[in-house]
Amino acid sequence: MIVKNEEAVLARCLDSIKAAVDEINIIDTGSTDATKSIAAKYTSRIFDFQWIHHFAAARNFSFQQATKDYILWLDADDIITNEELVKLQHLKLTLSPTVDAVSMHYHLNFDTEGNVTYSLRRNRLVRRQRQFQWIGAVHEYLAVDGTIIHSDIAISHQPLSRDASRNLAIYERLLTAGEGFSTRDLYYYANELKDHRQYEKAISFYEQFLATEQGWVEDCIQACFKMADCYSALQNEKRAIQSITRSLTFDSPRPEACCRFGFYFMEQHKNQQAIYWYEQALTIKEPSHTPFRNHIFTTWLPHLQLCVLYDRLQQYELAYEHHIQAKSFYPTHPQILHNEQYFQQLFPER
């Protein structure tokens, strides 16, 4: 782990993982709080690394300190639940020594019910002997090859706070220093600009990213969606829908694209067209290789919107069926609770 000023979350993370690991290496990049004293309760292997505004450099240093056959990496605001810990311990007992890397789910967002709403996959466990390297100053990734298995183990990201400007500052420091951006950097810098509401500048860098024609297809699709959000924020809905349509040039329609098309027609009260797209979101299967999954686009959201659309058409039975489906996924969502009251009045016998 690389850490800095993580006194609020470090013990939570280490408590969740300590039963599964044989060695804990903590690399501190300049903490001024109690982080290192907390870490000392779990391990004597605490190393200092001077922060140079480069995440890959820090992570590569952290990997150099490991002495066991396999390296598992975590962030301080990650945890592994008891159920997932059992899976990890089983993997540890059964893993073939020929495996070079193991990917795991990374649960990033949750609804108020605790259901996962957004997840992706990351290579979490790697064979030390392969000496895999981290790449990238920001939004770094671990370059792996060889024999890779995809496990059903999940790590949960549960931050208490976030330094919203940190990554943007690192990118802009690189720009000021005249360092060129990789294709991947163009994409992630655009994301940071978007998150900071610099929409026109974000669009410019998304376009530069797409113009390279070297981006990962999944990032290209997401860039189209994110550009659409930028155009919507700038109240340019025509360009927004064009950006969503552009995503179809990279792969088959994703549920997110279908929901976005559905919303576009719904806003214009083109109900049948909107129904078509929301039903597509529920029908099509995402490619098995899709690493990013925003679960709302295949669960409660399309059902909620179909409920509203069929109600507009006075097809109340169909509206109610979709309400029940939406409720099964997210029973405490405010709009679903409102619809529950509506249908109790409409169908008092139910």
Please indicate, yes or no, whether residues 30 and 131 belong to a single structural domain of this protein: yes
* CATH number (domain holding residue 117): 3.90.550.10
Q: Which of 214, 267, 281, 258 is nearest to 238 (CA)?
A: 267
pLDDT at 196: 95
pLDDT at 286: 76
What is the tally of structural domains in the chain?
3
Please indicate, yes or no, whether residues 83 and 192 belong to a single structural domain of this protein: no
The domain boundary, picked from 99, 133, 157, lies at 157
Please indicate, yes or no, whether residues 77 and 112 belong to a single structural domain of this protein: yes
Please indicate, yes or no, whether residues 92 and 183 belong to a single structural domain of this protein: no
CA torsion sign, 65 to 67 to 71 to 77? Answer: negative
Give me the tens of pLDDT residue by residue for the chain, a chain 350 residues long. 999 999 999 999 999 999 999 999 999 999 999 999 999 999 999 999 999 999 999 999 999 999 999 999 999 999 999 999 999 999 999 999 999 999 999 999 998 888 898 899 999 999 999 999 999 999 999 999 999 999 999 999 999 877 778 899 999 999 998 888 999 999 999 999 999 999 999 999 999 999 999 999 999 999 999 999 999 999 999 999 999 999 999 999 999 999 999 999 999 999 999 999 999 999 998 766 567 788 999 999 999 999 999 999 999 999 999 999 999 999 999 999 999 999 999 998 88
Q: Are 127 and 101 in contact (CB under 8 A)?
A: yes
Please indicate, yes or no, whether residues 267 and 344 belong to a single structural domain of this protein: yes
Please indicate, yes or no, whether residues 225 and 305 belong to a single structural domain of this protein: no
Q: Which of 155, 164, 241 is nearest to 197 (CA)?
A: 164
The domain boundary, picked from 126, 157, 188, lies at 157
Please indicate, yes or no, whether residues 39 and 147 belong to a single structural domain of this protein: yes
User: Which ranges in 114-198 belong to alpha helices (H)?
Assistant: 166-176, 183-195
Instruction: Write out the two tokens for 56.
Output: 């890959």
Instruction: Write out the two tokens for 158.
Output: 């549960």
Please indicate, yes or no, whether residues 299 and 325 belong to a single structural domain of this protein: yes
The amino acid at 128: R
Please indicate, yes or no, whether residues 20 and 131 belong to a single structural domain of this protein: yes
Length, in residues, of the chain: 350
* Rounded CA separation 330/281 (Å): 17
pLDDT at 156: 97
Domain of residue 25, residue span:
2-157
DSSP run (H or E) holding 64: helix 55-64
Please indicate, yes or no, whether residues 51 and 39 belong to a single structural domain of this protein: yes
The domain boundary, picked from 189, 216, 251, lies at 251
pLDDT at 285: 82
Q: What is the DSSP letter of 54?
A: -
Alpha carbon distance, N-terminus to C-terminus of the chain: 54
Q: Are 66 and 40 in contact (CB under 8 A)?
A: no
Please indicate, yes or no, whether residues 55 and 127 belong to a single structural domain of this protein: yes
Please indicate, yes or no, whether residues 135 and 182 belong to a single structural domain of this protein: no
* Rounded CA separation 107/312 (Å): 36
Cα dist from 345 to 161, 208, 315, 341, 350, whole Å: 42, 53, 16, 6, 10
State the pTM of this model: 0.83
* CATH number (domain holding residue 241): 1.25.40.10
